[in-house]
């Protein structure tokens, strides 16, 4: 479903990714661990094709759609959470209000909350970021530090969501520097000094 072939990327002569390769398939839950600055976000941006690698290639099966939470997702600050999700999904003509509201409720976000996103807490924004990555039934889901700012109840809700995504045969790749108790990954990678290795 996804092939990452010999990816290299440097910024201003400083190598961030060096010959990174791996393959992943539907139904797999993959973890990439790495310290701050190890290149996790850069790798996700290259997989999502928002950044070009210096060399190497990404191959994704044609029917696959990518959902991603990378760094701090940008929202329309003066609009409500639901209005933001509606806007993002409508860009792709794939808006299902019932599904979006169910996802919001799963994460204890009230779809009828009239507060603009500018008033949201870090955790609430993070939840909105997770929802937008999965709300269009995307088949490859990239989640960069998904539990940042989440309290323990929200982390449990996130773990439940991962189980649902796995049951739906999605490929989910989580990048984080910490280990999240309670998540059973199929494959573990570590990104260090620009190199991706198993374990």
Ligand X SMILES: Nc1ncnc2c1ncn2[C@@H]1O[C@H](COP(=O)(O)OP(=O)(O)OP(=O)(O)O)[C@@H](O)[C@H]1O
C-beta atoms surrounding 22 within 10 Å: 18
Phi, psi of 45 (to 5 degrees): -65, -35
Least separation in angstroms between CB 94 and ligand X: 28
Sketch the per residue contact string, 64 through 93, with ligand X: x for CB under 6 A, - otherwise.
Answer: ------------------------------
Rule CB under 6 A: choose which of 11, 102, 121, 164 binds ligand X.
11
Cβ within 8 Å of residue 84, ≥6 positions away: 75, 76, 117, 128, 132
Residues 42/51, Cβ–Cβ less than 8 Å? yes
| For ligand X, the closer CB: 14 or 93 | 14
**Is 38 a residue that touches ligand X (CB under 6 A)?**
yes
Rule CB under 6 A: choose which of 94, 177, 186, 190 binds ligand X.
177
Rule CB under 6 A: choose which of 28, 33, 41, 139 binds ligand X.
41
**Is 36 a residue that touches ligand X (CB under 6 A)?**
yes
Rule CB under 6 A: choose which of 4, 16, 30, 117 binds ligand X.
16
C-beta atoms surrounding 16 within 10 Å: 19
Rule CB under 6 A: choose which of 31, 40, 125, 127 binds ligand X.
40
Least separation in angstroms between CB 175 and ligand X: 7
For the chain, where are the E strands, in sequence order? 2-11, 14-24, 29-33, 55-60, 66-69, 140-144, 171-176, 187-192, 195-198
Rounded (10°) CA dihedral 132, 134, 138, 141? 100
Rule CB under 6 A: choose which of 28, 42, 126, 139 binds ligand X.
42
| For ligand X, the closer CB: 34 or 81 | 34
Least separation in angstroms between CB 151 and ligand X: 21
**Is 50 a residue that touches ligand X (CB under 6 A)?**
no
The sign one gets for the Cα dihedral 181, 184, 185, 188 is positive
The stretch among 19-27, 30-38, 81-89, 129-137 that binds ligand X (CB under 6 A) is 30-38
- Neighbour order of strands in the sheet with 195-198: 66-69, 140-144, 171-176, 29-33, 187-192, 195-198
First vs last Cα of the chain: how many Å apart? 21
Could you list the residues that contact ligand X (CB under 6 A)? 11, 16, 34, 36-42, 177
């Amino acid at each position: 479903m996804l092939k990452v072939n010999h990816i290299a990327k440097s910024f201003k002569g400083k190598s961030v990714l060096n010959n990174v390769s791996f393959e992943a398939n539907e139904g797999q839950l993959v973890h990439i661990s790495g310290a701050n600055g190890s290149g996790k976000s850069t790798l996700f941006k290259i997989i999502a094709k928002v950044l070009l690698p210096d060399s190497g290639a990404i191959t994704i099966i044609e029917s696959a759609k990518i959902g991603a939470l990378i760094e701090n997702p940008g929202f329309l600050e003066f609009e409500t959470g639901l209005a933001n999700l509606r806007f993002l999904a409508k860009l792709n003509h794939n808006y299902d209000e019932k599904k979006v509201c169910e996802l919001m409720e799963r994460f204890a976000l009230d779809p009828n909350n009239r507060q603009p996103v500018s008033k949201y807490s870090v955790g609430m924004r993070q939840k909105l970021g997770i929802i937008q990555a999965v709300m269009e039934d995307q088949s490859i889901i990239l989640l960069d530090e998904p539990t940042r700012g989440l309290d323990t109840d929200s982390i449990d809700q996130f773990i439940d969501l991962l189980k649902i995504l796995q049951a739906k045969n999605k490929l989910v790749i989580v990048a984080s520097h910490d280990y999240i108790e309670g998540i059973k990954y199929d494959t573990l990678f570590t990104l260090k000094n620009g190199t991706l290795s198993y374990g």
